Amino acid sequence: MTKIALRKFGNVRDGDAKRILAIMEDLYGEFEEPPDLVELLLFEDLDLRNAQVAEEARNRSAPLGDPGEGLLSIHECWGGSPRVYISLDIASSLPEGALRGMLEHEVGHTVLHGSLESYIFPLDLVRDYEAIFGAEFARALLTIVAASVKDFEVTRLWAGMGASRDQMDFVDHFLSSNEEEKASYAIAKSGPDSALLFLASIMKPVACAHPLTMDPAVGPRAERSISEFLSFMDDEERRGILGILGEISSRGSHDTLENVMVAMENLRLRFPHA
């Protein structure tokens, strides 16, 4: 049985906390070997959540990045145990299916990627890519590609457990707008490094949806959401992103590092002049 250690930040109502705890406890009950301990951090609003994420990044010198407003929820385990960050102003705005899908997503990460090994790259792999891209860019690219791969793996997990509809409700919510991505597109394409990093970052939300395209019940809906989200990009770029995720899917590997390496090599092959 998973122990969920709850921490509250700001005005977090008991009813909201109990509701989220109940859903997460129910979800962990679906796994034969769930994590022993998960930290759940609930925040009154997004500003409190992002401030705490920034503080954790400083204290642990961890590459948590800038969560901004785009991430509905956040996970990490730099303290040694899986940790989930949820802002209640966002959670309370979600339809029931999307909320459950979001919590499934975070629970899935704690099950599949709940140890430091899922966040640390082998030194020889890092050095190989540093030799190609330079140290700072290589680490940034590896981080965002790994995040995309892990999101893909979580959606694939829940789709295989019959939760495709909840995952589709969750995915629909953040694929429903691409205004931020459209605004960054022209600027990102001004240089090869920024273009490649943009393509890797745009792959992350698509990775959450891609495994759902294989489920006849939600496949057409998933394909439509992906197509509309990527509609502002060139055909070749869209095909490249979908081709990378298709390659991971066709291999069927459940080794996260192997999938990251496949994604990195395909990114280089499909976008050599990005």
- Confidence bin at 68 (pLDDT 50/70/90): very low
Q: Which of 118, 150, 185 lies at the terminal end of a domain, its last residue?
A: 118
Average pLDDT of the chain is: 92
Contacts for 179 with CB less than 8 Å, ≥ 6 apart:
none
Q: Is the pLDDT of residue 69 over 60?
A: no
Is 110:38 a contact under the CB 8 Å cutoff?
yes
- Domain tally, the chain: 2
Q: Which of 118, 149, 184 lies at the terminal end of a domain, its last residue?
A: 118
Q: Are residues 89 and 133 in the same domain?
A: no
Q: What is the pLDDT of residue 15?
A: 94
Q: Are residues 55 and 163 in the same domain?
A: no
Q: Which of 95, 118, 141 lies at the terminal end of a domain, its last residue?
A: 118
Tokens (6 digits) for 117: 């090994």
Q: Domain of 106: which CATH number?
A: 3.40.30
Q: Are residues 109 and 152 in the same domain?
A: no
Q: Are residues 187 and 173 in the same domain?
A: yes
What percent of the chain is predicted at pLDDT more than 90? 78
Q: Are residues 10 and 95 in the same domain?
A: yes
Q: Are residues 109 and 127 in the same domain?
A: no
- Confidence bin at 72 (pLDDT 50/70/90): confident
Tokens (6 digits) for 56: 């954790």
Q: Are residues 144 and 264 in the same domain?
A: yes
Range of the domain at 110: 3-118
